[in-house]
Amino acid sequence: MSVVYPDNRGRYGDYGGQFVPETLMAPLKEIEDALNEAMKDESFQKEYRNELEHYSGRPTALTYADQLTKTLGGAKIYLKREDLNHTGAHKLNNAIGQALLAKRMGKKKIIAETGAGQHGVASATVAAKLGLECKVFMGEKDIERQQLNVFRMQLLGAEVISVSSGDKTLKDATNEAIRYWVAHCDDHYYLIGSVVGPHPYPKMVRDFQRVIGDETKRQFKEKEGKLPDRIYACVGGGSNAIGMFYPFLEDDVELVGIEAAGKGIDTPDHAATLLNGTQGIIHGSMTYLIQDDHGQIVEPYSISAGLDYPGIGPEHAYLHSSGRVRYESITDAEALEAVKTLSQAEGIIPAIESAHAIAQAVKEAKQMDPSETIVINVSGRGDKDMNTIMEQFQEG
Protein backbone atom coordinates (compact mmCIF):
# COMPACT_ATOMS: atom_id res chain seq x y z
CA MET A 1 0.00 0.00 0.00
CA SER A 2 1.65 3.17 -1.15
CA VAL A 3 -0.76 5.72 0.32
CA VAL A 4 1.74 7.99 1.99
CA TYR A 5 -0.36 9.79 4.57
CA PRO A 6 -0.52 10.65 7.29
CA ASP A 7 2.73 12.57 7.25
CA ASN A 8 4.92 12.69 10.32
CA ARG A 9 2.76 15.43 11.84
CA GLY A 10 -0.25 13.18 11.45
CA ARG A 11 -1.67 15.17 8.58
CA TYR A 12 -3.83 13.90 5.75
CA GLY A 13 -3.39 16.82 3.41
CA ASP A 14 -4.81 19.75 5.36
CA TYR A 15 -6.49 17.51 7.89
CA GLY A 16 -5.54 15.70 11.04
CA GLY A 17 -2.68 16.82 13.27
CA GLN A 18 -2.49 17.18 17.02
CA PHE A 19 -4.53 20.12 18.26
CA VAL A 20 -4.24 19.27 21.90
CA PRO A 21 -3.05 20.80 25.12
CA GLU A 22 0.70 20.53 25.60
CA THR A 23 0.16 18.00 28.38
CA LEU A 24 -1.10 15.47 25.87
CA MET A 25 1.88 15.73 23.56
CA ALA A 26 3.94 13.37 25.67
CA PRO A 27 1.29 10.63 26.00
CA LEU A 28 0.50 10.89 22.29
CA LYS A 29 4.16 10.46 21.50
CA GLU A 30 4.36 7.51 23.84
CA ILE A 31 1.43 5.86 22.04
CA GLU A 32 2.84 6.62 18.63
CA ASP A 33 6.19 5.09 19.50
CA ALA A 34 4.63 2.04 21.09
CA LEU A 35 2.31 1.62 18.14
CA ASN A 36 5.06 1.84 15.56
CA GLU A 37 7.10 -0.66 17.42
CA ALA A 38 4.15 -3.02 18.04
CA MET A 39 3.02 -2.95 14.44
CA LYS A 40 6.43 -4.12 13.37
CA ASP A 41 6.47 -6.88 15.95
CA GLU A 42 5.22 -10.16 14.55
CA SER A 43 4.25 -11.38 18.02
CA PHE A 44 1.94 -8.40 18.53
CA GLN A 45 0.39 -8.90 15.13
CA LYS A 46 -0.13 -12.53 15.93
CA GLU A 47 -1.76 -11.77 19.25
CA TYR A 48 -4.07 -9.25 17.58
CA ARG A 49 -5.04 -11.67 14.82
CA ASN A 50 -5.48 -14.43 17.35
CA GLU A 51 -8.00 -12.43 19.36
CA LEU A 52 -9.84 -11.40 16.20
CA GLU A 53 -10.15 -14.99 15.14
CA HIS A 54 -10.60 -16.93 18.35
CA TYR A 55 -12.38 -14.32 20.42
CA SER A 56 -14.32 -12.05 18.10
CA GLY A 57 -15.02 -14.77 15.54
CA ARG A 58 -13.32 -13.30 12.48
CA PRO A 59 -13.24 -13.54 9.55
CA THR A 60 -16.79 -12.23 9.43
CA ALA A 61 -18.88 -13.64 6.61
CA LEU A 62 -19.37 -12.05 3.21
CA THR A 63 -22.99 -12.91 2.49
CA TYR A 64 -24.51 -12.86 -0.95
CA ALA A 65 -27.82 -10.99 -0.66
CA ASP A 66 -29.73 -13.29 -2.93
CA GLN A 67 -33.24 -11.98 -2.47
CA LEU A 68 -32.33 -8.30 -2.26
CA THR A 69 -30.41 -8.63 -5.51
CA LYS A 70 -33.31 -10.34 -7.22
CA THR A 71 -35.88 -7.87 -5.93
CA LEU A 72 -33.92 -4.84 -7.07
CA GLY A 73 -32.93 -6.40 -10.37
CA GLY A 74 -29.68 -4.48 -10.62
CA ALA A 75 -26.18 -4.98 -9.30
CA LYS A 76 -25.25 -8.16 -7.46
CA ILE A 77 -25.19 -7.30 -3.76
CA TYR A 78 -22.88 -8.68 -1.09
CA LEU A 79 -22.96 -7.85 2.59
CA LYS A 80 -19.87 -7.68 4.76
CA ARG A 81 -21.11 -9.00 8.06
CA GLU A 82 -19.47 -6.93 10.79
CA ASP A 83 -22.69 -7.51 12.70
CA LEU A 84 -21.39 -11.01 13.39
CA ASN A 85 -18.47 -9.77 15.47
CA HIS A 86 -18.55 -10.43 19.18
CA THR A 87 -20.58 -7.62 20.80
CA GLY A 88 -22.31 -6.98 17.48
CA ALA A 89 -20.32 -4.40 15.53
CA HIS A 90 -16.99 -3.59 13.96
CA LYS A 91 -16.09 -1.61 17.09
CA LEU A 92 -14.44 -4.60 18.68
CA ASN A 93 -11.72 -4.87 16.00
CA ASN A 94 -10.32 -1.58 17.15
CA ALA A 95 -10.95 -2.10 20.83
CA ILE A 96 -9.01 -5.37 20.73
CA GLY A 97 -6.08 -3.75 18.96
CA GLN A 98 -5.83 -0.78 21.25
CA ALA A 99 -6.35 -2.75 24.42
CA LEU A 100 -3.53 -5.10 23.44
CA LEU A 101 -1.38 -2.05 22.80
CA ALA A 102 -2.32 -0.56 26.16
CA LYS A 103 -1.39 -3.78 27.89
CA ARG A 104 1.89 -3.90 26.01
CA MET A 105 2.58 -0.35 27.15
CA GLY A 106 2.13 -1.50 30.72
CA LYS A 107 -1.07 0.47 31.26
CA LYS A 108 -3.47 -1.29 33.59
CA LYS A 109 -6.33 1.15 33.17
CA ILE A 110 -8.21 2.24 30.13
CA ILE A 111 -10.69 5.00 29.55
CA ALA A 112 -13.17 5.30 26.72
CA GLU A 113 -15.97 7.57 25.59
CA THR A 114 -19.29 6.31 24.34
CA GLY A 115 -22.49 7.66 22.86
CA ALA A 116 -25.05 4.92 22.43
CA GLY A 117 -22.79 2.56 24.29
CA GLN A 118 -21.40 0.43 21.48
CA HIS A 119 -17.80 1.48 21.86
CA GLY A 120 -18.26 1.53 25.62
CA VAL A 121 -19.39 -2.08 25.54
CA ALA A 122 -16.54 -3.02 23.20
CA SER A 123 -14.03 -1.34 25.51
CA ALA A 124 -15.51 -2.88 28.64
CA THR A 125 -15.41 -6.23 26.88
CA VAL A 126 -11.74 -6.17 25.96
CA ALA A 127 -10.87 -4.71 29.33
CA ALA A 128 -12.56 -7.67 31.00
CA LYS A 129 -10.88 -10.08 28.61
CA LEU A 130 -7.41 -8.62 29.18
CA GLY A 131 -7.83 -7.93 32.85
CA LEU A 132 -7.67 -4.14 32.58
CA GLU A 133 -9.59 -1.61 34.62
CA CYS A 134 -12.06 0.34 32.52
CA LYS A 135 -13.81 3.69 32.92
CA VAL A 136 -16.35 4.68 30.31
CA PHE A 137 -17.41 8.32 29.97
CA MET A 138 -20.97 8.75 28.84
CA GLY A 139 -23.25 11.78 28.63
CA GLU A 140 -25.99 12.00 31.24
CA LYS A 141 -28.62 12.12 28.49
CA ASP A 142 -27.20 9.06 26.78
CA ILE A 143 -27.07 7.17 30.06
CA GLU A 144 -30.77 7.75 30.44
CA ARG A 145 -31.50 6.73 26.86
CA GLN A 146 -29.26 3.65 26.86
CA GLN A 147 -29.79 2.06 30.23
CA LEU A 148 -29.31 -1.46 28.94
CA ASN A 149 -25.91 -0.70 27.50
CA VAL A 150 -24.97 1.05 30.71
CA PHE A 151 -25.86 -2.05 32.62
CA ARG A 152 -24.05 -4.22 30.12
CA MET A 153 -20.85 -2.25 30.68
CA GLN A 154 -21.26 -2.51 34.43
CA LEU A 155 -21.88 -6.23 34.17
CA LEU A 156 -18.60 -6.46 32.28
CA GLY A 157 -16.96 -4.79 35.24
CA ALA A 158 -16.51 -1.30 33.83
CA GLU A 159 -17.25 1.90 35.67
CA VAL A 160 -19.59 4.19 33.75
CA ILE A 161 -18.94 7.84 34.47
CA SER A 162 -21.84 10.19 33.93
CA VAL A 163 -20.92 13.41 32.10
CA SER A 164 -23.10 16.42 32.81
CA SER A 165 -21.10 19.09 30.97
CA GLY A 166 -22.19 20.66 27.67
CA ASP A 167 -25.02 18.92 25.89
CA LYS A 168 -24.46 15.79 28.01
CA THR A 169 -23.98 13.59 24.95
CA LEU A 170 -21.12 11.95 22.99
CA LYS A 171 -19.15 15.09 22.19
CA ASP A 172 -19.12 16.03 25.85
CA ALA A 173 -18.31 12.52 26.95
CA THR A 174 -15.29 12.72 24.65
CA ASN A 175 -14.26 16.10 26.07
CA GLU A 176 -14.54 14.69 29.55
CA ALA A 177 -12.59 11.55 28.68
CA ILE A 178 -9.82 13.73 27.27
CA ARG A 179 -9.86 15.91 30.39
CA TYR A 180 -9.61 12.88 32.58
CA TRP A 181 -6.84 11.48 30.47
CA VAL A 182 -4.86 14.73 30.68
CA ALA A 183 -4.83 14.33 34.43
CA HIS A 184 -4.17 10.58 34.46
CA CYS A 185 -2.12 9.92 31.37
CA ASP A 186 0.73 8.46 33.39
CA ASP A 187 -1.14 5.22 34.09
CA HIS A 188 -4.23 5.40 31.87
CA TYR A 189 -4.59 4.55 28.21
CA TYR A 190 -7.30 6.38 26.29
CA LEU A 191 -9.07 4.00 23.93
CA ILE A 192 -10.77 6.13 21.28
CA GLY A 193 -13.65 4.50 19.41
CA SER A 194 -13.33 5.87 15.91
CA VAL A 195 -10.84 7.33 13.43
CA VAL A 196 -11.02 10.69 15.19
CA GLY A 197 -8.95 12.52 17.78
CA PRO A 198 -5.34 13.65 17.54
CA HIS A 199 -2.66 11.75 15.67
CA PRO A 200 -1.87 8.83 15.94
CA TYR A 201 -5.45 7.82 16.74
CA PRO A 202 -6.97 8.18 13.27
CA LYS A 203 -4.17 6.17 11.77
CA MET A 204 -4.13 3.60 14.52
CA VAL A 205 -7.87 3.00 14.46
CA ARG A 206 -7.75 2.72 10.69
CA ASP A 207 -4.98 0.16 10.90
CA PHE A 208 -6.96 -1.89 13.40
CA GLN A 209 -10.10 -1.65 11.26
CA ARG A 210 -8.58 -2.33 7.85
CA VAL A 211 -9.09 -6.02 8.52
CA ILE A 212 -12.64 -5.38 7.26
CA GLY A 213 -11.44 -4.30 3.84
CA ASP A 214 -8.60 -6.80 3.69
CA GLU A 215 -10.96 -9.68 4.35
CA THR A 216 -13.57 -8.33 1.96
CA LYS A 217 -11.03 -8.10 -0.83
CA ARG A 218 -9.91 -11.68 -0.31
CA GLN A 219 -13.42 -13.06 0.12
CA PHE A 220 -14.82 -11.16 -2.82
CA LYS A 221 -12.07 -12.37 -5.10
CA GLU A 222 -12.72 -15.93 -3.99
CA LYS A 223 -16.38 -15.63 -4.80
CA GLU A 224 -16.36 -13.46 -7.88
CA GLY A 225 -12.81 -13.66 -9.14
CA LYS A 226 -12.55 -9.88 -9.33
CA LEU A 227 -13.07 -6.73 -7.27
CA PRO A 228 -16.49 -5.21 -6.58
CA ASP A 229 -17.56 -2.18 -8.59
CA ARG A 230 -18.75 -0.18 -5.63
CA ILE A 231 -18.51 -0.36 -1.87
CA TYR A 232 -20.83 1.36 0.60
CA ALA A 233 -20.25 2.17 4.25
CA CYS A 234 -21.87 4.52 6.73
CA VAL A 235 -19.80 7.29 8.25
CA GLY A 236 -20.10 8.54 11.80
CA GLY A 237 -16.58 9.11 13.04
CA GLY A 238 -15.70 7.01 10.03
CA SER A 239 -13.98 3.91 11.37
CA ASN A 240 -16.02 1.18 9.72
CA ALA A 241 -15.90 3.09 6.44
CA ILE A 242 -12.17 3.70 6.47
CA GLY A 243 -11.57 0.14 7.62
CA MET A 244 -13.49 -1.06 4.59
CA PHE A 245 -12.20 1.53 2.10
CA TYR A 246 -8.53 1.73 2.93
CA PRO A 247 -7.39 -1.50 1.27
CA PHE A 248 -9.30 -0.49 -1.88
CA LEU A 249 -8.04 3.09 -2.19
CA GLU A 250 -5.67 2.33 -4.99
CA ASP A 251 -8.01 -0.03 -6.81
CA ASP A 252 -10.53 0.74 -9.48
CA VAL A 253 -13.43 0.50 -7.06
CA GLU A 254 -15.92 3.26 -6.40
CA LEU A 255 -16.14 4.02 -2.69
CA VAL A 256 -19.23 5.60 -1.20
CA GLY A 257 -19.46 6.91 2.35
CA ILE A 258 -22.90 7.68 3.73
CA GLU A 259 -23.54 10.35 6.32
CA ALA A 260 -26.67 10.81 8.39
CA ALA A 261 -29.02 13.43 6.97
CA GLY A 262 -31.29 13.14 10.02
CA LYS A 263 -34.50 15.03 9.33
CA GLY A 264 -33.03 16.38 6.11
CA ILE A 265 -29.80 17.95 5.03
CA ASP A 266 -31.62 21.26 4.53
CA THR A 267 -32.85 21.27 8.13
CA PRO A 268 -30.76 22.03 11.22
CA ASP A 269 -31.26 18.45 12.36
CA HIS A 270 -28.62 16.39 10.63
CA ALA A 271 -25.15 14.92 11.18
CA ALA A 272 -23.82 15.28 7.64
CA THR A 273 -20.46 16.64 8.62
CA LEU A 274 -18.71 16.56 5.27
CA LEU A 275 -21.65 17.47 3.12
CA ASN A 276 -22.98 20.20 5.34
CA GLY A 277 -20.26 21.11 7.79
CA THR A 278 -17.18 23.34 7.63
CA GLN A 279 -13.51 22.95 8.32
CA GLY A 280 -12.29 23.25 11.88
CA ILE A 281 -10.93 21.51 14.92
CA ILE A 282 -12.67 18.97 17.03
CA HIS A 283 -11.20 16.66 19.63
CA GLY A 284 -7.67 17.44 18.63
CA SER A 285 -7.97 17.05 14.91
CA MET A 286 -8.34 19.40 11.94
CA THR A 287 -11.28 18.15 9.98
CA TYR A 288 -14.87 19.02 9.11
CA LEU A 289 -17.41 19.67 11.77
CA ILE A 290 -20.81 21.12 12.42
CA GLN A 291 -20.35 24.53 13.96
CA ASP A 292 -21.96 27.94 14.09
CA ASP A 293 -20.62 31.23 12.68
CA HIS A 294 -18.55 31.80 15.80
CA GLY A 295 -16.86 28.42 15.70
CA GLN A 296 -18.93 26.94 18.50
CA ILE A 297 -19.59 23.27 17.95
CA VAL A 298 -23.24 22.50 17.32
CA GLU A 299 -24.99 19.39 18.57
CA PRO A 300 -25.74 17.23 15.52
CA TYR A 301 -28.83 15.12 15.04
CA SER A 302 -29.46 11.63 13.73
CA ILE A 303 -31.83 8.90 14.81
CA SER A 304 -28.78 6.65 14.97
CA ALA A 305 -26.71 7.27 18.03
CA GLY A 306 -23.54 6.05 16.32
CA LEU A 307 -23.67 8.66 13.55
CA ASP A 308 -24.69 11.46 15.84
CA TYR A 309 -21.20 13.03 16.07
CA PRO A 310 -20.40 16.61 15.02
CA GLY A 311 -16.99 15.74 13.58
CA ILE A 312 -15.53 13.16 11.24
CA GLY A 313 -12.18 11.45 10.88
CA PRO A 314 -9.59 13.64 9.14
CA GLU A 315 -8.82 11.00 6.55
CA HIS A 316 -12.40 11.25 5.34
CA ALA A 317 -12.07 15.02 5.10
CA TYR A 318 -9.04 14.38 2.93
CA LEU A 319 -10.68 11.69 0.79
CA HIS A 320 -13.63 14.03 0.33
CA SER A 321 -11.45 16.91 -0.76
CA SER A 322 -9.41 14.69 -3.06
CA GLY A 323 -12.57 13.23 -4.55
CA ARG A 324 -11.39 9.64 -4.07
CA VAL A 325 -14.46 8.78 -2.01
CA ARG A 326 -17.96 9.95 -2.83
CA TYR A 327 -20.02 11.02 0.16
CA GLU A 328 -23.80 10.88 0.21
CA SER A 329 -26.40 11.28 2.89
CA ILE A 330 -29.47 9.36 3.96
CA THR A 331 -32.32 10.57 6.17
CA ASP A 332 -33.76 8.92 9.29
CA ALA A 333 -36.81 7.85 7.33
CA GLU A 334 -34.79 6.29 4.52
CA ALA A 335 -32.58 4.45 7.00
CA LEU A 336 -35.55 3.04 8.88
CA GLU A 337 -37.05 1.85 5.62
CA ALA A 338 -33.75 0.15 4.81
CA VAL A 339 -33.80 -1.63 8.17
CA LYS A 340 -37.09 -3.14 7.13
CA THR A 341 -35.90 -3.92 3.62
CA LEU A 342 -32.86 -5.87 4.70
CA SER A 343 -34.68 -7.60 7.55
CA GLN A 344 -37.40 -8.91 5.28
CA ALA A 345 -35.26 -9.69 2.27
CA GLU A 346 -32.32 -11.31 4.01
CA GLY A 347 -33.26 -12.00 7.60
CA ILE A 348 -30.59 -9.61 8.82
CA ILE A 349 -31.67 -6.77 11.07
CA PRO A 350 -28.95 -4.15 10.65
CA ALA A 351 -27.95 -1.40 13.05
CA ILE A 352 -29.61 1.87 12.06
CA GLU A 353 -26.10 3.19 11.35
CA SER A 354 -25.49 0.45 8.82
CA ALA A 355 -28.96 0.96 7.37
CA HIS A 356 -27.76 4.32 6.04
CA ALA A 357 -25.29 2.51 3.82
CA ILE A 358 -27.92 -0.02 2.82
CA ALA A 359 -30.41 2.68 1.85
CA GLN A 360 -27.92 4.39 -0.44
CA ALA A 361 -26.83 1.10 -1.97
CA VAL A 362 -30.42 0.08 -2.62
CA LYS A 363 -31.03 3.37 -4.43
CA GLU A 364 -28.02 2.89 -6.64
CA ALA A 365 -28.09 -0.88 -7.16
CA LYS A 366 -31.39 -0.61 -8.99
CA GLN A 367 -29.78 1.62 -11.59
CA MET A 368 -26.81 -0.67 -12.07
CA ASP A 369 -26.33 -3.51 -14.48
CA PRO A 370 -26.70 -7.10 -13.26
CA SER A 371 -23.13 -7.68 -14.33
CA GLU A 372 -21.96 -5.14 -11.76
CA THR A 373 -21.28 -6.01 -8.14
CA ILE A 374 -21.40 -4.09 -4.89
CA VAL A 375 -20.51 -4.67 -1.27
CA ILE A 376 -22.33 -3.05 1.63
CA ASN A 377 -20.61 -2.96 4.97
CA VAL A 378 -23.13 -4.03 7.60
CA SER A 379 -21.22 -2.41 10.43
CA GLY A 380 -23.40 -3.74 13.21
CA ARG A 381 -26.53 -5.59 14.18
CA GLY A 382 -29.82 -3.91 14.97
CA ASP A 383 -30.53 -5.52 18.33
CA LYS A 384 -29.37 -2.40 20.15
CA ASP A 385 -31.84 -0.34 18.12
CA MET A 386 -34.98 -2.39 18.55
CA ASN A 387 -36.58 0.05 20.95
CA THR A 388 -35.96 2.98 18.63
CA ILE A 389 -37.17 1.11 15.57
CA MET A 390 -40.23 -0.13 17.40
CA GLU A 391 -41.14 3.36 18.57
CA GLN A 392 -40.66 4.75 15.09
CA PHE A 393 -42.76 2.13 13.36
CA GLN A 394 -45.46 2.35 15.97
CA GLU A 395 -45.63 6.14 15.61
CA GLY A 396 -45.53 6.09 11.84
**Spatial strand order in the sheet of 133-139:** 159-163, 133-139, 109-114, 188-190
Hey, which residues are catalytic here? 91, 113, 379
- 149 lies in the binding site for another protein (CB under 8 A): no
Rounded to the nearest whole angstrom, what is the least distance from the CB of residue 311 to a second copy in the complex? 28
**Minimum distance of ligand PLP from residue 90's CB (angstroms):** 6
Among a second copy, another protein, ligand PLP, none, the one that 252 touches (CB under a kind-dependent 5 to 8 A) is none
Question: Minimum distance between the CB of residue 68 and a second copy, rounded to whole angstroms?
Answer: 10
Task: For residue 36, give every residue at least 6 positions away whose Cβ sits within 8 Å of its Cβ, in sequence order, or none.
Answer: none
Neighbours of 215 (CB within 10 A): 21
Which residue, among 171, 189, 86, has the nearest Cα to 135 in the 3D structure? 189
Q: Which does 264 bind (CB under 5 to 8 A by kind): another protein, a second copy, ligand PLP, none?
A: none
DSSP for 76-90 reads EEEEEEGGGSGGGBT
Structure-derived torsion over alpha carbons of residues 307, 375, 319, 176, reported in degrees to the nearest 10: 30
Q: Alpha carbon of 146 to those of 63, 114, 135, 143, 206: distances in Å?
A: 30, 11, 17, 5, 27
Confirm or reject binding of residue 25 to another protein (CB under 8 A). Answer: yes
Q: Is position 280 an interface residue for another protein (rule: CB under 8 A)?
A: yes
Backbone conformation region of residue 71, classed left if phi is above 0, alpha if psi is from -120 to 50, else beta: alpha
Residues 277, 278, 284, 286, Cα dihedral to 10°: 130
Of residues 58, 91, 103, 171, which one binds another protein by CB under 8 A?
171
Least distance CB 119 / ligand PLP (angstroms): 6
When asked if residue 127 is in the footprint of another protein (CB under 8 A), the reply is no
Contacts of 22 (CB under 8 A, 6+ apart): none
Binding site for ligand PLP (CB under 6 A): 89, 91, 116, 118-119, 194, 234-241, 306-307, 351, 353-354, 379-380
Q: Could you give the 3-state DSSP secondary structure of residue 322? A: helix
- In angstroms, the CA 278 to CA 146 distance is 30
CA–CA distance, 133 with 50 (Å, rounded to integer): 22
Task: Closer to ligand PLP by CB, 74 or 341: give it.
Answer: 341
The answer to whether residues 229 and 75 touch, using CB atoms and an 8 Å cutoff, is yes
Q: How far is the CB of 157 from a second copy (least distance, A)?
A: 4
- Closest separation between CB of residue 306 and ligand PLP, Å? 3
Q: Does 105 engage in binding with another protein (CB under 8 A)? A: no
Name which of ligand PLP, a second copy, another protein, none residue 148 binds, using a CB cut-off of 5 to 8 Å depending on partner kind.
a second copy
Under the criterion CB under 8 A, does residue 317 sit at the interface with another protein? no
Find the shortest distance in angstroms from Cβ 129 to a second copy.
4
Question: Using CB under 8 A as the criterion, which residues of the chain lie in contact with a second copy when the complex forms?
Answer: 53-57, 60-64, 66-67, 81, 83-84, 86, 88, 124-129, 131, 147-148, 151-152, 155-157, 339-340, 343-349, 383, 386-387, 389-390, 393
Do 242 and 206 touch, CB atoms closer than 8 A?
yes
- Which listed option, ligand PLP, another protein, a second copy, none, makes contact with residue 45 (CB within 5 to 8 Å by class)? none
Q: Between residues 252 and 293, which has the closer beta carbon with respect to another protein?
A: 293
User: Residue 353 binds which entry of another protein, ligand PLP, a second copy, none, with Cβ cut-offs from 5 to 8 Å by kind?
Assistant: ligand PLP
Q: Which is nearer to a second copy, 243 or 300 (CB)?
A: 243
Indicate the SS3 state at residue 175. Answer: helix
For the stretch 141-172, what's the b/e string if a residue is b when 16 or more beta carbons lie within 10 angstroms of its beta carbon?
Answer: bbbebbeebbebbeebebebbbbeeebbbbbb
Task: Give contact residues for another protein (rule: CB under 8 A).
Answer: 9, 17-23, 25-27, 165-166, 171-172, 175, 178-179, 182-186, 278-284, 289, 291, 293-298
